[in-house]
Amino acid sequence: MEFTEIKKDLFTMPDTYSLAHCISSDAKMGAGIAVLFRKHFKLASLQNMANSSPLVIGTCYKVDRALNLVTKAKYFQKPTYQTLTLAIESMRDICLQEGIAQLAMPQIGCGLDKLQWGRVREIIKDAFAETDIEIVICTL
């Protein structure tokens, strides 16, 4: 695994990168960076799926280049480190199954969700330690 943190707009990363973010199982995506993901990746299919039955917490759902980590039940709730860890491990498994070699994301779980970046960084590094996946953390 190669892990770097850079100051860059996440949405200007090359198309070879899959982009990851956190969402709730109701897939509302009405605040924070999730709004931009919804616009960039047309995530209506994910929202439609959540309308019929909630998305599974601790799971990652891939739509196009977007990796949507479900870390909490409702948009107004906060995730736990456990639910984030499960979702990151699910994302890792998807990357390995689908041959995704490049991954970019913001400091997931640390904006509106209020988790500590130092702990989240270690969770990501631990989950991807035995892979050859390049991970870029984009901050503005």
Closest to 51 measured CA to CA, from 24, 34, 26, 76: 26
CB atoms inside a 10 Å sphere around CB 111:
16
Could you tell me if 67 and 83 are in contact, meaning their C-beta atoms sit under 8 angstroms apart? no
Supply φ then ψ for residue 73, to 5 degrees. -80, -50
Active site amino acids: 72, 113
